[in-house]
Amino acid sequence: MSAIRVGLDVGGTKIEALALSEDDTILGRTRIPTGWGDDAVIAAALAAIDALAEEAGFAVADVISIGIGIPGLVDAANGRVLHAVNLGVEELDLAAAIRARIPVPVAVENDVKAAAVGAGSLRGDAHSMAYLNLGTGVAAGILIEGSLWRGARGTAGEVGHLSVDPAGRVCGCGQRGCIETFCGGGAVMKAWGRGGELPIRDIFDLAETGDPLAAELREGIAFGAASAVRALVLSADVETVVIGGGVTALGDRLLGDLVGRLRRENAASPFIASLRLDERIELLPAGSPAASLGAALVGAALLHGEEPHTGRVVVASDGAQGNSAEPSTVEPATAEPATAAPATAVPATAEPATAKPATPLIESEGALHG
């Protein structure tokens, strides 16, 4: 096996690694815990590549490019992480550190922008698309003519920090009533203040029993998400907004609330109704490899000095029935690399799906929320 392109999606608690073949087939995925601080993040990234090679059956020497999606402020042109608070990283030349161990082209990109590339590839239609991440924070990656649109200073898609209620809660950015204060998992959990294993799910459940705070927050999530969709369509005129991130573990319950909110807004404005916003949204399926796949494509683009392509990417099938959408999980290795089961198939579509219960975590942040 040769010409393997690797993608790493680095989160606050885990790294998901993906192997992409020369013919754009996903060969395997695996997941290991993330480290804290510069040295630990570098070591975890290298360990994830080793674990992926073990699982997918290739040698690290077969790797021809590496792409890394990471939360926080990223200098993509130079492969540097400028600020990733949830990883304890400041001013890390991550691409150079990985290249020192594996001498191939290495790209570093903000995780939401990388996920936008992956989501577009899984859909096979990224002509005009936004990927809206509802995680701890809220941000979007925008694809225009199949390429990432960054804007003049790299902040295109930072819809989480659009203020939609000047009298609303204070956002971490210092403004009041930002979209993120309504539908960002971190802000919602802070407003909820009751803890719980899966607070966002608790809010939806208790709202249905008449709990006033839960009902207010649930309505706020729909309002914030609808505001983000509207902002993306009005500012970039994207044809489709694909929604992912930890909050989407609510699946059809979130989608139903969002569609309902958009349709109520349609009724109040013929202009907004003409945009058909309720018909332009999709949920990313649970277990989607969009983030790690996008990272692999961003890294592979360095081989040719081009933008990452967003044409159709397919998934290897092992012929098994009822394949899981989840990557294997590998515990940190202290001696011998763990041996994982062969990778299983991943849905390669972005149709709305009812998400299965996720790990008790809301993860994947945009550029301004570390």
pLDDT, tens digit only, all 370 positions of the chain: 789 999 999 998 999 999 999 988 999 999 999 999 999 999 999 999 999 999 999 999 999 999 999 998 899 999 999 989 889 999 999 999 999 999 999 999 999 999 999 999 998 877 899 999 999 999 999 999 888 898 888 889 999 999 999 999 999 899 999 999 999 999 999 999 998 888 999 999 999 999 999 999 999 999 999 999 999 999 999 999 999 999 999 999 999 999 999 999 999 999 999 999 999 999 999 889 999 999 999 999 999 887 776 665 554 443 322 233 457 665 543 333 333 333 333 333 333 333 333 322 233 333 333 3
Whether 337 maps to a domain, the answer reads no
Q: In CATH, what number is assigned to the domain containing residue 90?
A: 3.30.420.40
Do residues 136 and 254 both lie within one domain? yes
Whether 297 maps to a domain, the answer reads yes
Do residues 250 and 135 both lie within one domain? yes
Do residues 75 and 157 both lie within one domain? no
Cβ-based neighbour number of residue 332 at 10 Å: 12
Do residues 225 and 162 both lie within one domain? yes
Do residues 24 and 103 both lie within one domain? yes
Do residues 245 and 301 both lie within one domain? no
> What domain range includes position 255?
123-283
Domain total in the chain = 2
Do residues 90 and 189 both lie within one domain? no
Whether 234 maps to a domain, the answer reads yes
Residue type, 154: G
Do residues 144 and 61 both lie within one domain? no
Whether 363 maps to a domain, the answer reads no
Please report the sign of the dihedral spanned by the C-alpha atoms of residue 86, residue 92, residue 69, residue 40: negative
Please report the sign of the dihedral spanned by the C-alpha atoms of residue 294, residue 299, residue 302, residue 304: negative
Looking at residue 147, its pLDDT comes to 86
Looking at residue 143, its pLDDT comes to 93
Do residues 77 and 111 both lie within one domain? yes
Q: Do the beta carbons of residue 313 and residue 348 sit within 8 Å?
A: yes
Residue 153 per-residue DSSP state: S
Rama region for 196: left / alpha / beta (φ>0; ψ in -120 to 50; rest): left
Last residue of a domain, one of 283, 304, 337: 283
Do residues 171 and 295 both lie within one domain? no
Whether 167 maps to a domain, the answer reads yes
Do residues 131 and 272 both lie within one domain? yes
Separation between Cα atoms, residue 289 and residue 327, nearest integer Å: 9
Whether 223 maps to a domain, the answer reads yes
Looking at residue 312, its pLDDT comes to 55
Whether 357 maps to a domain, the answer reads no
Do residues 253 and 295 both lie within one domain? no
Looking at residue 333, its pLDDT comes to 38
